[in-house]
A and B are shown apart, each in its own frame.
Chain A
Amino acid sequence: MKGTLAKGLLLLSLFALVFLAACGGSDGENASKDDENESGSGDKVIEFMHLWPEGSSKQHYDIVNGIIEEYESDNPGVKVKLEILGNEQYKEKLKVLSTSNELPDVGMTWAAGFLEPYVSGNMFASLDDLLDGPLKDKFVPGTAEAYALDGTTYGLPLELNITPLYYNKAIFEEHGLEAPTTFDELKEVVQTLVDQGVTPIALGNKDRWTGSMWYMYLADRIGGPEVLNKAIDRSGSFEDPALVEAAKEVQELVDMGAFLNGFNGLGNDEAKGYFINEQAAMYLMGSWDLPEWTTSEANPQEFKDSIDYMKFPVVEGGKGDENSFVGGPGVGLFVAENSDVKEEAKDFVAFFVEKWGEQSVEKAGVIPATKVDTEGSDLPQMYVDVLNDLNEASNITLYADVQMSAGVAEVHLDMIQALFGKAVTPEEFAKQQEEALAAEE
């Protein structure tokens, strides 16, 4: 019995050792975290979480670090502590942190639908005082509004994108084509290309939001910029004739063979590959892809030179004009409601937004949501054109799946895939979305 006891004790102590070692590890971590917090005795620490890791977004990462350095030297006594995660992990972590009410003081959010649960959970602080104060009139109209709920703004956008229709000039020239300005001309271009055995349009509709952009533009050009917005904010209906008509036009394009063969099974990246390999003549995509056609080292210069963009053609007799764009802000900054350094965090956000706006285009090719002065910069021509177009934009319609709540967006995206795949009629397409929107009222 004595031996047994000894062995038992031995085991117990072994187990305890392992257990304590594990605890010790976390103890050590906590300790070092405390050290950091207290470094420089009495410093205020702003925790800042962003989603541009050095590996995948080097330029963004560098700008952020530069801004933080500048801020810290301007504001002695305030330190910014960074946590950096990739896009998907970032979303997951933000969600997990929010359930335990431990959001970072400053972090990144997306507009409208993404923001909503956080705002209704009272997690994000109102940033109206910044918009009325230091950041007054700094933003392109319509961008900060995308982060507002019931008239209060909870996020400040860093990125802004519109969606040009890129095309390959070399392919167009080879087939004696010119960039179309009307939808009928676009169809003629498509027909010519199909007849010559060239894929007219690269589309990766496995991702669904890609097809949604085509639909949104057609809805805008036929019914004007308000019709889709109204259907979504419930002052109108999704069964509006213009929205059904737009769906019909989509299916007509599908029937003509306008889109890449097998588009419903291809992701956006694969579809982009076809455009980059010059296997498709046109590609509708956000201006976030501008570096691909201008500065990217990965693509050959000859290809980059042959890419230009056009504004989405107008539909004759339709209500939308060519300066109306589908687009919207990308990520924005939020300040946590329960932050214990809220004032400093807001101050940092205002500083960050301003500095970011000065540097992001030139250093990272990101169009900021704040107004950009193109005079005297040596940006690639396509950037200058897009920035100028933005200044002349008559309207920017926020991506439908971002405008909608998550549940309705899912219906919308599913319906888009079904519409392009001809699994539903245009009428049914409109009806199902109308029902989903009505159910949420």
Chain B
Amino acid sequence: MNKVMSNKVVIALYTLPALILILALIYGPILLTGYYGLMDWNGIGAMTFIGLDNYVELVQDSKFWESALHSFLLAIFSTLSLAIYLIISLILAGKIKGSNLLRKIYLIPMLLSSVAIAQLWIKIYDPNNGMLNSLLQTLGVENPPAWLADPNLVLYAIFVAILWQYAGFYIIIYYAALKGLPESLIEAAKIDGATPIQIAYKIKVPLIAGVIKVTIVLAIVGSLKYFDLIYVMTGGGPNGASEVIASYMYKKAFGIYDFGYGSAIAFFLLLITLVVTWLTRKLTASEDEIQY
């Protein structure tokens, strides 16, 4: 078998199918997007080369920067919410009753499609008949806010839905990492008289630091290109108060058929994501691998 693996022809044979697919379906379109970004093109007719005009327009487009700000807020929020997920996972991974059931409960949102989740939260947030406002009214709040119609609140209302949507995904990652820790270390700490909080904070969390870093990158990148829930729940409104980069790009490309400009936004988003990912890796880089 080793012989097979060292044969260059076989190596090429193994990697080629996947490579071709990735090149054709991922990198090819990325290059094309970069190319379209230099064009004035409505998606149907002829293309005109306009150089960097789309990017010049982009830099001056206040609506774009507003949506970029929302995307970054979303990224910060998602990163912070990782702490909540981590705490929940620590509790679940401990020996508490019913953790099996709870784990499944947290996982269920992950099984729903984004559109279903969006519809669900639209119903919850309905200003007059919704669950949330009915609850607030029985608690004595007069004139509860119209969550998705209020430009000052809409973004946060959507954040909460996203927090709920991704709970299962991150909790399962943390949970698996925590379950993979060697029992002996925890026992040793117990014998030394460490409290559960000390064990969690000083032993478990540092030991899964690698996983945490990966989830931070996932959360940030995922937020920057976030689209579906927002598109269904508000369409970026009201008045652009919940517009993010991806929804703005969609609007430009498929809403008003400005594919050149839409592609420029997409390419810019790719650059932003690459830079942010690199920065995140850089800032969270650690010196050495953990060895048990």
- A406 and B252 CA atoms in complex are apart in Å by 10
Assess the A7–B127 pair: CB atoms within 8 A. no
- A99 and B251 CA atoms in complex are apart in Å by 20
Q: Among the listed B44, B45, B238, B257, which residue makes an inter-chain contact with A264, where contact means beta carbons less than 8 Å apart?
A: B238
Q: Among the listed B14, B44, B234, which residue makes an inter-chain contact with A265, where contact means beta carbons less than 8 Å apart?
A: B234
Assess the A206–B239 pair: CB atoms within 8 A. no
Assess the A266–B126 pair: CB atoms within 8 A. yes
Q: Does A21 contact B (CB under 8 A)?
A: no
Beta-carbon contacts under 8 Å, B6-44 to A = 7, 9-10, 13-14, 17, 42-44
Q: Among the listed A15, A206, A261, which residue makes an inter-chain contact with B128, where contact means beta carbons less than 8 Å apart?
A: A261
Assess the A206–B256 pair: CB atoms within 8 A. no
Contacts of B210 in A (CB 8 A): none
Assess the A95–B44 pair: CB atoms within 8 A. yes
Assess the B4–A279 pair: CB atoms within 8 A. no
Q: Does B258 contact A (CB under 8 A)?
A: yes
Contacts of B14 in A (CB 8 A): 11
- A11 and B257 CA atoms in complex are apart in Å by 46
- A276 and B45 CA atoms in complex are apart in Å by 44
Q: Does B170 contact A (CB under 8 A)?
A: no
Knowing A118-B44, A121-B45, A406-B255, the reply to whether A414 touches B126 (Cβ < 8 A) is no
Assess the A99–B148 pair: CB atoms within 8 A. no
Q: Does A201 contact B (CB under 8 A)?
A: no
Q: Does B85 contact A (CB under 8 A)?
A: no
Q: Does A384 contact B (CB under 8 A)?
A: no
- Give the interface SS of chain A, mostly helix, strand, loop or mixed: helix
- A261 and B126 CA atoms in complex are apart in Å by 9
Q: Does A98 contact B (CB under 8 A)?
A: yes
Taken residue by residue from 269 to 303, chain A's Cβ proximity to chain B (1 for < 8 Å, 0 otherwise) reads as: 01000100001000000000000000000000000
With both chains docked as a complex, state the minimum distance between the C-beta of A92 and any C-beta of chain B, in angstroms.
9
Contacts of B13 in A (CB 8 A): 8, 11-12, 15
Assess the A274–B10 pair: CB atoms within 8 A. no
Contacts of A24 in B (CB 8 A): none
Assess the B128–A4 pair: CB atoms within 8 A. no
Q: Does B146 contact A (CB under 8 A)?
A: yes
Beta-carbon contacts under 8 Å, A1-59 to B = 1, 3-4, 7-8, 11-12, 15
Assess the A270–B10 pair: CB atoms within 8 A. no
Q: Does A160 contact B (CB under 8 A)?
A: no
- A167 and B235 CA atoms in complex are apart in Å by 28
Sorted nearest first, the 5 A-B pairs with minimum C-beta distance are: A262-B146, A262-B127, A265-B148, A265-B149, A264-B238
Interface residues of A (CB under 8 A from B): 1, 3-4, 7-8, 11-12, 15, 95, 98-99, 117-118, 120-121, 123, 199, 205-208, 260-267, 270, 274, 279, 406-407, 409-410, 414, 417-418, 421, 423
